[in-house]
Structure 1
């Protein structure tokens, strides 16, 4: 949902009846409940440590907590929806009880997991598959009326990390966004957030090109989420580890904020918060 005033886009999200203003960008803190995530696997996959980490993310400045029950890194363990739900347990309701003002997004490509999360109190659907891994996802997004994060990705779970050299990455991503948002809008999903899909099936060169051309992604009609935290297109060319690229990542965060990015999905909330504060000066 958007209002356009003086050629500047101001976006609002309807999160379970709560209107969220994105005129000031938000930080989404990542809470992985997975034993095999590439950079923090196993650290927060029990209730006590997960809740403690959520509290830390919130204290550092996250306004959205993105709960991920399944790793989508290359060669990760594949879980069913039932296994995702078991792994989530009562984490959503626990966080909501402790921090009622915080927004919770659920990172899943399963409609059934979304339904579970909706009943537990999630505010946003974060689907890396663009509805391509579960043909009930768009229908479920319509039923819940929750904001939906639409990510650009290859068309199947098996191929999502296959590197494709696009003739024009920005044009290809926008074509995908155009087709998918048209379908979502026709189904009645009005609150859509666009994620270009950094780290999924794209070359280093194409991802750097996307960083440079963020302002052209999504036609200015929808808010953009940028998720580049600890991604290999940053650390591999530098010969560094995912945990040693904070300075480089914050420079890229500043670059995308200047081009209109509205949500930063990050592991290191405190550092991203400093970047956001600098941007807002």
Structure 2
């Protein structure tokens, strides 16, 4: 982690150290997320599947579990806040009961869902829209006093790929995140993670350019979260499928760690934890 970067998060009174990078495991309570291996929605067995996946990820070394009830893949169907909450809340409650020490991140861009999730026992809000899709999100996060992932995206999950136009993607992403960061700081939000938003309103070429210039995010004091796991950039470049993209994910995660990532958001926890352990034996800075 670059010198000067914030090295802890206050998760509802629990101080989480980030001086060594950590893993956030993806757990999607959806029927349509882009990678089928991350879905745990089955009307008859959802809770059992959630607990099985959560237990596996925690055993493999996940520090956070990131629960999502709304698919943000390109062109995904829109669902109501009520349906999103109905998917998430039972999963939160089940994990809190069976794994009370688990740290739960909620992948939502809706303030109403965020409030309900935190009330149910979640610890962190991961907003793919960076506050652009719900004007009440920043005030809500400030009032809840929980860590917040500020991600870069343009448009909505349904329109974002039409907004993938940049002169210099790294500079423009940094500028747009900086504007939102000022707003959050003004509201008194203390714990903020930055996510460049790989794959969100970005082409594969943009994603590689962004990763190549990830060092530039060191100008911020906030920790950096990177989500490259099994994304289109990997499998289209290699001419394979998302199911075959684990090796490519590990390669790009290793690059991200070299360039200062503090959290790897992944589908495959053990492999990410191993990449962190190995790269910690090297000196990059």
State the TM-score, normalized to the length of structure 1. Answer: 0.94
Paired residue total? 277
The answer to whether the 8 A contact 1:132-1:156 is kept is no
Report 1:124-203 matches (<5 A): 124-203=124-203
Q: Which moved more, 1:245-254 or 1:181-190?
A: 245-254
Residues 1:17 and 2:4 aligned together: no
Q: For residues 126 and 65 of structure 1, do their structure 2 counterparts lie closer, same or farther at Cα, with a shift above 3 Å needed?
A: same
> Partner residue of 1:83?
83
Report 1:1-281 matches (<5 A): 7=3, 9-40=5-36, 43-45=39-41, 46-217=46-217, 219-281=219-281
Structure 1 residues without counterparts, runs of 5 or longer: none
CA RMSD of aligned residues (A): 1.7
The answer to whether the 8 A contact 1:35-1:42 is kept is no
Q: For residues 28 and 91 of structure 1, do their structure 2 counterparts lie closer, same or farther at Cα, with a shift above 3 Å needed?
A: same
Q: For residues 42 and 182 of structure 1, do their structure 2 counterparts lie closer, same or farther at Cα, with a shift above 3 Å needed?
A: closer
State the TM-score, normalized to the length of structure 2. Answer: 0.93
1:200-221 deviation digits (Å, cap 9, x = unpaired): 1112111101111111126231
Offset, 1:101: 2.0
Offset, 1:74: 1.6
The answer to whether the 8 A contact 1:173-1:217 is kept is no
Secondary structure, counterpart of 2:125 in structure 1 = strand
The answer to whether the 8 A contact 1:177-1:218 is kept is no
Structure 2 residues without counterparts, runs of 5 or longer: none
Q: Give the Cα–Cα distance (whole angstroms) in 2 for the partners of residues 219 and 18 of structure 1.
A: 27
